[in-house]
């Protein structure tokens, strides 16, 4: 992922993200940590950017460090609406984290339970 792409996603610069996508930016490019733009936007709670990336075919189920997906990162960050967007778009709710003690073997549902996000648990239940 190039620096301009990453900056635009992290800043929720919707117009720049759109322009970069239209000029051929790879929607599933990864940053130095293996995260995609969708993962970054989901973790930051940037709903409009998440929608735009989904519209442009972002892979919902890419995982990076500790086996975390965009859905899992949205739950970890407490972004309930982003998690709902990703579930509606078809994100895999069966993916499990790995490596780190707080994530190993846990699904997005398990992470929501641990964070007492009751309003989200029914939607994440497998």
pTM of the entire structure? 0.94
Q: Angle at the Cα of 102 (from 98 to 104), degrees rounded to 5?
A: 20
- 109: domain CATH number is 1.25.40.20
The alpha carbon torsion through 86, 91, 1, 9 (nearest 10 deg) reads 0
Alpha-carbon torsion (64, 87, 120, 11), positive or negative: positive
Instruction: Per-residue pLDDT tens, the chain, 126 aa: give them.
Output: 888 889 999 999 989 999 999 999 999 999 999 999 999 999 999 999 999 999 999 999 999 989 999 999 999 999 999 999 999 999 999 999 998 788 999 999 999 999 999 889 988 987
Residue 49 contacts residue 42 (beta carbons within 8 Å): no
Number of domains composing the chain: 1
Residue 97 DSSP symbol? B
Query: In which domain, by residue range, is 83 found?
Result: 3-124
Residue 16 contacts residue 32 (beta carbons within 8 Å): no
């Amino acid at each position: 992922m190039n620096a301009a792409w990453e900056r635009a996603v992290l800043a929720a610069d919707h117009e720049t993200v759109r322009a970069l996508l239209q000029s051929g930016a790879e929607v599933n490019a990864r940053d130095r940590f293996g995260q995609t733009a969708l993962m970054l936007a989901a973790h930051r709670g940037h709903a409009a950017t998440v929608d735009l990336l989904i519209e442009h075919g972002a892979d919902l189920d890419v995982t990076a460090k500790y086996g975390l997906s965009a859905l899992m990162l949205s739950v970890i960050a407490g972004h309930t609406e982003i998690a709902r967007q990703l579930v509606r778009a078809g994100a895999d709710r069966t993916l499990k984290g790995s490596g780190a003690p707080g994530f190993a073997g846990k699904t997005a549902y398990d992470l929501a339970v641990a964070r007492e996000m009751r309003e989200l648990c029914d939607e994440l239940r497998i």
